[in-house]
């Protein structure tokens, strides 16, 4: 019926076992060994990938030259005729922009803002370090609860004390802003 032929494939190995370790012989001594050329350039992967991508794009565009040119022309025509409407900013952004435009010494305000951010970051670090100490967070929580109770009793419970507190807040506000509330 069908005859099958078997061919024997032999591989030559250039390794020898010496003291339980594999050692390779020089590839130059074995004539049957085929080596691939090694890359002698010291390219970084980013530039190599960029060049590779450019070559692929060049080959792709050369095979479909007319289609690519038409697609680019269509895209450019759409991009030039498309009208982009301005985005409406939220009202608080407009308020901030108006307040920033009124500021005369922008350098000083920027410096104060950066200093405030650094102080906030530093105080957060201090608070997190204190929070890791044993017993201290519990004691500080009890102190905070006690002070809140004292402040509420002294300033909020009775009507005359509430009116004095509101008056004090209004006076402080007018001193800071320079205007009447």
- Per-residue pLDDT tens digits for 89-113: 788 888 888 988 998 888 999 999 9
Quick check: pTM over 0.85?
Answer: no
Residue ranges of domains in the chain: 46-84, 91-132, 136-181
Query: CA 26, CA 10: separation in Å to the nearest integer?
Result: 20
pLDDT at 160 over 70: yes
pLDDT value of position 90? 83
CA dihedral 20, 23, 29, 33 (to 10 degrees): 100
Q: How confident is residue 137, by pLDDT bands cut at 50, 70 and 90?
A: confident
For residue 65, pLDDT beyond 50? no
Task: Using the CB atoms, write b or e for 111-126: b if 16+ within 10 Å.
Answer: eeeeeeeeeeeeeeee
Reading the block at residue 5, the tokens are: 């032929």
């Amino acid at each position: 019926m069908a005859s099958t032929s078997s061919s024997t494939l032999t591989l030559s190995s250039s390794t020898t076992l010496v003291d339980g370790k594999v050692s390779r012989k020089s590839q130059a001594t074995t004539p049957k060994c085929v080596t691939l050329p090694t890359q002698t350039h010291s390219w970084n992967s980013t530039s190599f990938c960029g060049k590779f991508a450019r070559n692929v794009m060049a080959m792709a565009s050369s095979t479909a030259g007319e289609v690519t040119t038409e697609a680019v022309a269509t895209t450019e025509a759409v991009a030039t005729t498309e009208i982009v409407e301005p985005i409406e900013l939220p009202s608080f952004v407009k308020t901030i922009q108006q307040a920033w435009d009124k500021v005369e010494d922008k350098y000083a305000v920027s410096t104060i803002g950066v200093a405030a951010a650094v102080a906030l970051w530093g105080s957060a670090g201090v608070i997190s370090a204190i929070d890791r100490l044993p017993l201290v967070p519990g004691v500080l929580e009890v102190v905070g609860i006690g002070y809140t109770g004292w402040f509420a009793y002294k300033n909020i419970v009775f009507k005359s004390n509430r009116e004095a507190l509101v008056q004090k807040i209004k006076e402080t506000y007018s001193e800071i802003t320079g205007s009447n509330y």
